[in-house]
Structure 1
């Protein structure tokens, strides 16, 4: 695994723990705590400012020459069985879609699963819609990450909790983040 700060495209990448002003508060707090337990975080998790108008994956990739396979989309899913609700932040390659109705529903042991409403997702995560990231989500949420990010040499480009920046790290490091569960085939190819 590389020991240097990852870069991608033409963005101005900086060490994320040193540029917490570019992160949502829960994301900054999670990164600082993680860096205290794993020194690689300080040198291998990067953040770059972006134009918020370019925050959506396809636009960002086109404007900044980023490979779609590096983009990690995070969706928040809720499942219910009886009165018990379970919530998960699901991270899949942007070239796929989270398998909400089958894979995620079974992982949540729910009869039905659906995307958490936008207002709840943003209020409960403390992050902006379109910028939600698995870093810093509430402890009660599960964090499910597609196993494709565990492959050596993989990068994970994702939200920073706000729409005016992006986070980049080695995929295997993401898979080792606190609370992460690596799931085989969490994302399904778009048809």
Structure 2
């Protein structure tokens, strides 16, 4: 099935509100409408002919230390797994780190589960971008909604405010 990409600023109807605000002053971000039932990475890639190596996932992590919970986003290629309990926990100087509960991730981001993206996240969240993502010329990521995807360069993700580039795989 062919994807019909358009500048994200021309298709804000396909973006969650915080994402639409974030892309309003960004160049090179494209959006495309998809079947929301195919938003999960593997199903999306199979149906639309995008490889897993061209797709990046945004994982929301809850890091706890001293009774305080802080959140961070981790961007990794769909072929990789985030080392939450090792690399991420240590980088965030947390005593414990885990995937954030779905309800918390949705409420805190203002995005739909399965569509969470680093564009438009709360200002105080670190965005940890894996080196493989940062070096990629173009990755497909969430749009904040399950019914669409964004395409963006890894350099754009690495250049986001609060972004840090490191190796996130264990």
Residues 125 and 162 in structure 2, CA contact (< 8 A), matched pair in contact too: no
Matched, 1:122 2:114: no
**CA shift digits 1:7-65 (9 cap, x unpaired):** xx821100001211100000000111x42xxxxx1xx1100000001111111111111
The correspondence for 1:23, drawn from 15, 18, 22, is: 15
**CA shift digits 1:103-133 (9 cap, x unpaired):** 0001110111011110010001000000000
Please name the residue that 1:109 is paired with. 93
What TM-score do you get using the length of structure 1 for normalisation? 0.85
Q: Aligned partners of 1:179 and 1:17: how far apart in 2? A: 22
Alignment size in residue pairs: 170
Q: Aligned to 2:37, what secondary structure does the other structure show?
A: helix
Q: How does 1:103-182 map to 2 (within 5 A)?
A: 103-151=87-135, 154-182=137-165
Please name the residue that 2:169 is paired with. 187
**CA shift digits 1:75-129 (9 cap, x unpaired):** 1001111122221011101000111000000111011101111001000100000
Q: CA deviation at 1:158?
A: 0.5
Q: Aligned to 1:61, what secondary structure does the other structure show?
A: helix
Q: Aligned to 2:94, what secondary structure does the other structure show?
A: coil
What TM-score do you get using the length of structure 2 for normalisation? 0.95
Q: CA deviation at 1:149?
A: 1.9
Gaps of 5+ in 1: 1-8, 36-40
Q: Aligned partners of 2:92 and 2:157: how far apart in 1? A: 21
Please name the residue that 2:4 is paired with. 12
Q: Aligned partners of 2:143 and 2:29: how far apart in 1? A: 11
Residues 73 and 126 in structure 2, CA contact (< 8 A), matched pair in contact too: yes
Gaps of 5+ in 2: none
Q: Aligned to 1:187, what secondary structure does the other structure show?
A: coil
The correspondence for 1:98, drawn from 82, 86, 101, is: 82
